[in-house]
Amino acid sequence: MSASANSIIGASVTRIDGPLKVSGGAHYAADHFFDNLAVGVPVASTVGNGRIVHIDTSIAERMPGVVAILHHGNTQQLFRPAGSFEPLSRAGEVRPPFEDDRVYYYGQYVTLVVANTLAQAQDAAFHVRVDYDAKPSIVDLAAAPPPEGAPHVHYTRGDAASAYDSAPVKVDQTYTIPVETHNPMEMHATLARWDGDKLILYESSQGVVNHQHVVSEMLGIPVDNVQVLSPYIGSGFGGKLFPWPQSLMAALAAKRVNRPVRIMVPRSLMFTTVGHRPLTQQRMRIGAAEDGKLLSLQHDVLQPTSLVDTYVEQCTGVTAMLYSCPSVSANQSLVPMNIGTPTPMRGPGIVPGLFPLESAMDELAIRLNLDPLALRLKNYTEEDPSFIPARPFSGKHLRECYEVGAARFGWRQRTPQPGSMKRGGEILGWGMATATWHAGRGSATVRVRLNADGTARASCATQDIGTGTYTVFAQIVSQKTGIPVDKIHVVLGDTSLPDGPTSGGSTVTATVVPAVDQATQGAVDRVIAAARKMPGSPFQRVSAGDDPPALKMTAGRIHAADASPESGIPFQDVLVHHRLAALEAESRTAPDPATAHEFSAHSFGAQFVEVAWDPGIARLRVNRALTVIDAGRIINHRTGRNQILGAVVMGVGMALFEETIYDPRNAKPLNNNFADYLVATNADIPDLDCIFVEYPDLHLNDYGARGIGEIGLAGVAPALTMAVWHATGVRVRRLPVRIEDLMAGQPMTA
């Protein structure tokens, strides 16, 4: 472990890419421009189910600037060669665009108009006439045929059904989370350019390497002939983990017209063609003893998926691992519907899974007249019970999260009776919930170069989706060399760089940090070896027969390990002496497969929320939200805190606003815009605070870092709805919280 007391590891370093982003110097996918650029505008299906009968392009193709119109009738079939489905490669939607005349969901691309300008392409797209043989659309669970066959996910330990039947205290409730749509600031976009046989894609992607493999498989061209560039991303939240059809359409169109082609997915189609968090309807049954000890958990999930993919939102895993409970059963079933395919959205599985689990725990605490925090402590587990035999955690300090959070929040002042905490004309409500997210680590290759001008360069084909990955790379290089971060150039988001991980699952930091560390050490070792060969250098001062002194690099200088950095020389002097522009090293690191099976690795947290309810005017506000997180060592406290607070903002949106609403007639998302799809904005956001309890998780990597991108969202919705119950007496089991639900449960007086 290389961090010391005054280390840059953990420091609140500002984002090294920040100045470029705020000055417009960072070019996002759609910002790229080429002289002969053509623009593609998709025509999307206006029915949710059926067949294309006829596509009439006769008017559109004669319109100014139109250069091509692509659809299934005039486009070569794309295919994925059989057997090529490496686990590495996953597309957002497995069916390629323009496959045939079938329409599976509203908003499916049926035609692409390519023109010289965006305005020309949009105008012509309005004049493409598509006739459909439309069938009724299935858009809600009540109207869908019930799932058949075995559940897609099944977990069992003990005998949960009989333990429930004989339990003295029971909770049996169903909780519903609607479809939530990713709404990153930067919309999906692809600029495709062919250079001979080589395809270059400028993308907004959370995983350039995976994207490269998918495109190679779908187009049937060698991987090395596909380059994907995504150096800057205006966030993704999971929606950009996998390639979506616009990327392949752009590649096809660019080939067809022999020009670079850009397609931006308009905000309205962001609601249909690039994934969403699926609706989940989750029944949670808890059986407990009179003292609150859990005896049985049963978690049954119904979840829609599309007709073009079987996406499973893994909601039940958290139920099996979070609390000590002898008997657990969990089942998840999928219901195909005429809605585009779902995809991971920040905290997939666990965020929607914790809402019913933590809500039902609160309902149990109320039933037992127990403090909700005390109920969690009574069922605390020191090992992961989802494995048989139970597996130790690589590190778990959740108890401390609860304690630190309760003390900071003032939890002990809570009076449990709903409506009992008044302040002025408002009623306060307090809620809390447990948060968790699995900690993962993958493999990565990083190249680090030490330059003769005194700078360093680190590169890897991962990407920074706004989380601070650029800065974390620079911090590790700086830590190992003493070169200041403003002299460290980090290059990411390009498949021509050494292989790197997808920015998903909160795993990038834990994955890349060991590789940056080793590659930096490799480059330093090469400079040290060169230093030894410098005649007259201080490193040959030893008398004949002595061992040469051990050398190290500190503060940008090469020096004897037992002497101060000032006694040595700047590293660049070594390079200049040898007339070298640079020395570099590359390292690939991977998790140790042995420890992967020895430990269960998760992060944990406790979240506390205060709401204020003004019954006179039916106004609900969130006053404050406190999050305490155990996620190992935090490499950068500024970007780390930013991840947690940003996730809490998203949690306020999830609990109070977010819901994609579909028209039952044709499966159109009715609120497919920023005016009608509400997300939390400044005025909705309470006083936010975040505390890290820092215990480096050395089972995961030498720096002890886990990931923090998703866990901050995990407990917000259940903590918030619990606070709403505490203020109003109304239990909301169907998100988002609706003001009419609160009014229906309330006399209109304080």
Within a 10 A sphere around the Cβ of 311, how many other Cβ atoms?
21
**381 burial via Cβ count (<10 Å: 0-12, 13-18, 19+):** middle
Q: List, in sequence order, every residue forming a beta bridge with 1; answer none if it has no partner.
A: none
Report the nearest approach of ligand MOS to the CB of residue 502 (Å): 8
Report the residue number, 504 or 632, with the smaller CB distance to ligand MOS: 504
Distances from the Cα of 712 to the Cαs of 10, 179, 238, 606, 622, in angstroms? 18, 20, 15, 9, 16
Which residue shows structure tokens 């499973």?
312
Report the nearest approach of ligand MOS to the CB of residue 314 (Å): 12
For strand 619-630 and strand 687-692, is the pairing parallel, antiparallel, or unpaired?
A: parallel
Report the nearest approach of ligand MOS to the CB of residue 21 (Å): 19
**What DSSP designation does 143 have?**
G
Report the nearest approach of ligand MOS to the CB of residue 240 (Å): 8
Report the residue number, 241 or 732, with the smaller CB distance to ligand MOS: 241
Which residue shows structure tokens 């950009």?
240
Distance (Å, whole) CA 708 – CA 639: 10
Q: Which of 203, 658, 659, 710 is catalytic?
A: 710
Report the residue number, 71 or 346, with the smaller CB distance to ligand MOS: 346
* Burial per residue of 49-80, b for 16 or more beta-carbon CB atoms within 10 angstroms, e otherwise: bbebeebebeebeebebbbbbbbbeebeebeb
Q: Is the separation of the CB atoms in 359 and 173 below 8 Å?
A: yes
Report the nearest approach of ligand MOS to the CB of residue 345 (Å): 6
- DSSP result, 562-592: TS-GGGSEEHHHHHHHTT-SEEEEEEEE---
Q: Is the separation of the CB atoms in 200 and 193 below 8 Å?
A: yes
Angle subtended by helix axes 716-728 and 637-656, to nearest 10: 50
Report the nearest approach of ligand MOS to the CB of residue 354 (Å): 15
Report the nearest approach of ligand MOS to the CB of residue 235 (Å): 9
Report the residue number, 361 or 465, with the smaller CB distance to ligand MOS: 465
Name the token pair of 167: 């339990």
CA atoms lying within 13 Å on the CB side of residue 725? 19
Show Cβ contacts of residue 6 under 8 Å, excluding neighbours closer than 6 positions.
none
Report the residue number, 344 or 353, with the smaller CB distance to ligand MOS: 344
- DSSP result, 59-111: TGGGSTTEEEEEETTTSPPP---TT---TT---SSSSPTT-SSEE-STT-EEE
Report the residue number, 238 or 696, with the smaller CB distance to ligand MOS: 238
Name the token pair of 463: 């990407």
* 710 flagged as catalytic: yes
Distance (Å, whole) CA 441 – CA 507: 6
| Strand positions, DSSP E, 279-361 | 280-288, 294-305, 327-336
Report the residue number, 441 or 526, with the smaller CB distance to ligand MOS: 441
Report the nearest approach of ligand MOS to the CB of residue 206 (Å): 6
Write out the residues near ligand MOS by the rule CB under 6 A. 206, 236-238, 241, 344-346, 348, 504-505
Q: List, in sequence order, every residue forming a beta bridge with 489; answer none if it has no partner.
A: 457
Nearest CA among 438, 397, 458 for reference residue 696: 397
Nearest CA among 315, 313, 300, 311 for reference residue 339: 311
Report the residue number, 277 or 449, with the smaller CB distance to ligand MOS: 277
**CA Rg value for the chain:** 28
Report the residue number, 233 or 742, with the smaller CB distance to ligand MOS: 233
Report the nearest approach of ligand MOS to the CB of residue 359 (Å): 22
Residue closest to ligand MOS when measured from CB atoms: 238
Within a 10 A sphere around the Cβ of 215, how many other Cβ atoms?
26
Report the nearest approach of ligand MOS to the CB of residue 708 (Å): 12
Local structure of 419: helix, strand or coil = coil
**What DSSP designation does 639 have?**
H
Task: Give catalytic residue positions.
Answer: 710
